[in-house]
Amino acid sequence: MKDKIRQYFDSLVVLPDKQWLEMEHCFELVSFKKGEILLDEHTTCNFIGFMNSGIVRFFEIKNANEKVTAFWFPGEFLSNYRSFISGRKSSHYIEALSDGSFWKLRKDDLFKLYDEFPLIDRLGRKMAEQLYLMVAQRLDNLLKETPEERYKILVDKNSRLLQEVPQYMIASYLGVSAETLSRIRKRIYTK
């Protein structure tokens, strides 16, 4: 079951078996139910995780409505990485959109691994770099494209999202209201 994680890690840095074993037994499989809050606002995020099954969203609340920053699927990284890095309290929630589970690695365990094995420090660098790539790309998309273009790009890249996540959450992810996304779809599909 942890093979998927190792596969992901190996794509960043190939760890010797001994180091991998040290790391492996720090992971704990955490199951969750639909609707469960995996990280609450005003809580410091003291873990990183890797999705094993299910879907999860990362969002915050502004003026009583939700702003979705990300969705996470199996194989993907899971954390409030900003809170994790900075030690500050989370302004976001992590919420399960379905039943599922993820592999959890606690901050203190990871920091011990960093100190013990330089290669794992490098792994941490690569992870941070990958996470940077993703946010930077999302920022770029948001600055450069119109809502309609953003939706089209999403359709091309992540069809699973469209099938398994309510549209009003996708609208928020795209930075528009639910009604606007409904009209964007109408515009597109009646041309």
Partner DNA sequence: CAATATTCTTGACGATCGTCAAGAAATCAT
Partner DNA sequence: ATGATTTCTTGACGATCGTCAAGAATATTG
Euclidean distance between CA atoms 110 and 78, whole angstroms: 15
Site for a second copy in 148-187 (CB under 8 A): 175
- 46 CB burial (10 A radius; 0-12, 13-18, 19+): middle
Q: How far is the CB of 160 from DNA (least distance, A)?
A: 14
In whole angstroms, the minimum distance from the beta carbon of 169 to a second copy comes to 13
* Per CB under 8 A, 125 contacts a second copy: yes
Rounded Cα gap, residues 105 and 10, in angstroms: 17
Q: Does 138 bind a second copy (CB under 8 A)?
A: yes
Q: Is 69 in the site for DNA (CB under 7 A)?
A: no
Phi, psi of 20 (to 5 degrees): -60, -40
Counting contacts by CB under 7 A, is residue 159 touching DNA?
no
Instruction: Tell me the site size for DNA, rule CB under 7 A.
Output: 20
List binders of a second copy among 14-73 (CB under 8 A): 60, 62, 67, 69
